[in-house]
Amino acid sequence: MELEIYSQVAILLTTLFSGSDTRPAASRQTSIIRLQSVEYPRSSQVQKLQYRLSRQGALNKRPLAVENVLKSSIERRAVMHRLDRTGKLRKEFYQFPSKNGRIVQKRKTVTQKTIDYLANVSQQKAAAKSSMVRSGKVRRRRYLLQGSKWPVIPGRVSTITWNVAAWSTKLSIGDTNKTLAEAFRMWAEVSPLIFRWVDSTSAANIAIMFAIGDHGDTQPFDGSGGLFAHAKFPQYGGSIHFDDAESWTTNYISGNSKSLLAAAVHEIGHSLGLKHSTVSGSVMSAHFSLQTSNVVLADDDVNGIKAIYGRCQPKVTAIESSMNDGRTYSFNADHYWRLNDAKHESDRGYPSKIHTKWQGITDNIDDIFLWGHNWRTYIFKGSWYYKYKIFGDNTLGPLEPNYPKRISQGWPGVPDDIDAAFTGIHGDSYFFKGDQVYKFDNGIDQVANGFPVSINQVFAGVPNNIDSAFRWYYDGYVYFFKDEYYWKMDYSGNIAGSFLIGIDGWKNLCDV
């Protein structure tokens, strides 16, 4: 009987705490999203819990045991759910109805003495934290890892498959499939994981289904407005279930509708091994809103998935810092990434196909070159080069008429199949191939006298056979890329490196 009581209490705790991952042994593998903090006042939840326990006789028969179970669970969630570590709800979070019927927080009367005391304590804590930050002792990690992961090699590109075993009765298969694929892609953009659809559920790593009520696992759905979805961690199969009784939408949010994209991104995070984060606003927060169509992984989400699977290891085969739109673009194979220069990482939502922005180019360019002589963009591929128009608002236009042209025609002395090209700090332009560098004389439109020479003669420390090079107008330095590494040249010509791509810079240039 005691075991049964403990199980009932644990199940009810799952209902009470939206982010709970501590459940009975039979269902511990399932992670749930339930926006109780939005749906119900906490005081009402506590009353319901007490009432249900009383009806089952749990509180009367084993009051101390039940209290211990409650207290233990509350302590583990104190920070996430605004609870005191003593196991009691903080008074400032008790909710009371106001005259207009809204739920408001209870106000507390404080004296000036209390204010002065709290201000002094706050200053002391701030000073101590500042000292710890300077000494590097502050632990900033807020994401939580469940402990299991898919059997992939950290940092290596690995494929995880998925399939939908039962479709929603309220959404079209096409819209559902597109939305789920978008949700998987968000995690692929920031990790070494690639997600692919397979036709067979039995062959899929992650099986997805829409269901109502009791659907064959230990967490039955309870109709609209309750339990929205749940997922299993990798060691338990990683399956994801959505309550088909909910008003799911793949478009605009209205009324009681809920974003399938938001729920899917959250649940996929659990399927990959992430527990609920304590960072407000993160996708993996227990209180992440389902009534939003603007779903973006927070830095905490990205750091969490990297902690499990490592960083992706991109290859920068071409890169340009555009003077036209002020953005930086990186290329590899048939994709390009737009960078957030301030954060040294790819913008969310990338990569995109090269041909969607650069007309006439599909894949495998040798380099993209912003020529400092006229600040126009050129792309080199094989024995050809491409020149693009610039609109009045400085945005990139279509390919100029009569292009592409042969490199030998427009750049006398520059070889075909170049490795890299850039215009340097002093306006000099350089082309690289193998172990040779060619300096281009912008004044006479041909390779300068005395060139080519070995790369080491001009750029000591830069390896041969580089993949790309460019001057980054965000900081003015010149960067060289080869394989998984990059080198940096300052204004004085000093070259530092090598550095790993994706650690301190050029992050999240991941295949999808």
Residues carrying an active site annotation: 267
Judge whether 227 is annotated as a binding position: yes
Judge whether 276 is annotated as a binding position: yes
Judge whether 284 is annotated as a binding position: yes
Judge whether 243 is annotated as a binding position: yes
* Cα–Cα distance measured from residue 172 to residue 164, given in angstroms and rounded to the nearest whole number: 13
Per-residue tokens: 71: 């207290």
Judge whether 400 is annotated as a binding position: no
Residue with tokens 């790309």: 468
Per-residue tokens: 436: 């040779």
Judge whether 413 is annotated as a binding position: no
* Cα–Cα distance measured from residue 495 to residue 462, given in angstroms and rounded to the nearest whole number: 8
* Cα–Cα distance measured from residue 289 to residue 79, given in angstroms and rounded to the nearest whole number: 19
* Cα–Cα distance measured from residue 329 to residue 338, given in angstroms and rounded to the nearest whole number: 5
Judge whether 272 is annotated as a binding position: no
Per-residue tokens: 454: 């070995």
Judge whether 382 is annotated as a binding position: no
* Cα–Cα distance measured from residue 435 to residue 450, given in angstroms and rounded to the nearest whole number: 15
Judge whether 241 is annotated as a binding position: yes
Judge whether 166 is annotated as a binding position: no
Task: Identify whether the C-beta of residue 265 lies closer than 8 Å to the C-beta of residue 233.
Answer: no
* Cα–Cα distance measured from residue 191 to residue 442, given in angstroms and rounded to the nearest whole number: 42
* Cα–Cα distance measured from residue 501 to residue 481, given in angstroms and rounded to the nearest whole number: 9
Three-state DSSP class for residue 369? strand
* Cα–Cα distance measured from residue 496 to residue 382, given in angstroms and rounded to the nearest whole number: 30
Per-residue tokens: 373: 């002589």
| Strand runs labelled E in 248-383 | 248-249, 258-259, 318-321, 328-332, 335-340, 345-346, 352-353, 367-371, 376-381
Judge whether 270 is annotated as a binding position: yes
Judge whether 16 is annotated as a binding position: no
CA distances from residue 362 to 249, 352, 358, 378 in whole angstroms, order as listed = 34, 11, 8, 15
Residue with tokens 């301190």: 504
Judge whether 264 is annotated as a binding position: no
Judge whether 325 is annotated as a binding position: no
CA distances from residue 263 to 34, 78, 99, 125 in whole angstroms, order as listed = 10, 24, 35, 37
* Helices of type H across 273-365: 299-309
Per-residue tokens: 182: 């978008």
End-to-end CA distance of the chain: 52
* Cα–Cα distance measured from residue 510 to residue 8, given in angstroms and rounded to the nearest whole number: 45
Which residue numbers belong to the known binding site for Zn(2+)? 215, 217, 230, 241, 266, 270, 276, 284
Binding site for Ca(2+): residue ranges? 222-223, 227, 237, 243-244, 246, 366, 421, 467
Known binding-site residues equal 215, 217, 222-223, 227, 230, 237, 241, 243-244, 246, 266, 270, 276, 284, 366, 421, 467
